[in-house]
Amino acid sequence: MDNWLSRIKEKKRLFGMTNDELSAASGIPQGTLNKILSGVSDDPKLSTLTSFSRVFGVSLDYIAFGEEGEFCLTESEAELLRRYRELDAHGKRVAYAVIGLEFERLSAPRPSKVLSPGKRYSFRGDRTRQSAGVRSLPIYDLPVSAGRGALLDGSDAEMITITSGGQAQSADFALRVSGDSMEPRYIDGDIILVHEQNSVLEGELGIFVCSDGVTQEGFFKRFGGDRLISLNPKYGDIMLSSFSTVVCRGRVIGRLPRKA
């Protein structure tokens, strides 16, 4: 039978509480509690029902009428609350801090999977030159960071000559990797080939310029939807919500062979 008593017993079961524990948590004398749970006392005081609602984290409407509201707990939520109450003061502070951080992460604006277009590179001279079997590409003077980022601002570039065909055929420019955050696939000094485009899909490698309104940094990272991800696990993710603007400058399509 679904009534106020059955709902209290069900919550007590979900919380895994004994009569002694429920009495201690609610402040209801054990004798009174035993009479209520056994059905001997079928007209509890409002203060008693209020104590039940406080312990179980539900509304009085739920206790009295079974109406599911904002404060009704699922079985998993009840288990989390039970475990939280068993933590010491330090554990409760840590749990509360983690919940706060996760709430902020989910509340922050999420950039779309296709990033907004931005300023194109401004290279000196022709963008590419091609002749039989070889082609020339501009290589950016400043190294794009595989670590914490170097500024990408359209500075002058020099030209490098590479064998045409394959990945090189689709490349618009090249960049030098600096740092170790994309190891082991890309190491410091590698020259990566980039197809210039203003969007990438989640999971693709790209070149990004991120600005906080005062400074901007350039990154070579994997796009993770709401973050930039390093291949080297010792580096944490870079959350895009910490920047005011995020611009994609191109998709990384490969790298030049390393010199022996």
Quick check: pTM over 0.75? no
pLDDT at 116: 42
- Find the DSSP H helices in the chain: 4-15, 19-26, 30-38, 46-56, 60-65, 75-86, 89-107
Choice among 30-39, 125-134, 247-256 with the minimum mean pLDDT: 125-134
- Find the DSSP H helices in 158-260: none
The two tokens of residue 154 are 């359209």
First to last CA, the chain: 80
188-217: per-residue pLDDT in tens? 888 889 988 888 888 899 998 888 877 778
127-184: per-residue pLDDT in tens? 445 554 677 777 775 555 554 444 454 455 677 777 766 667 788 888 888 888 898 8
The two tokens of residue 96 are 């509360």
Look at residues 163, 160, 158 and name the one whose alpha carbon lies nearest to residue 134. Answer: 163
Domains of the chain as residue ranges with CATH: 4-107 (1.10.260.40), 129-255 (2.10.109.10)
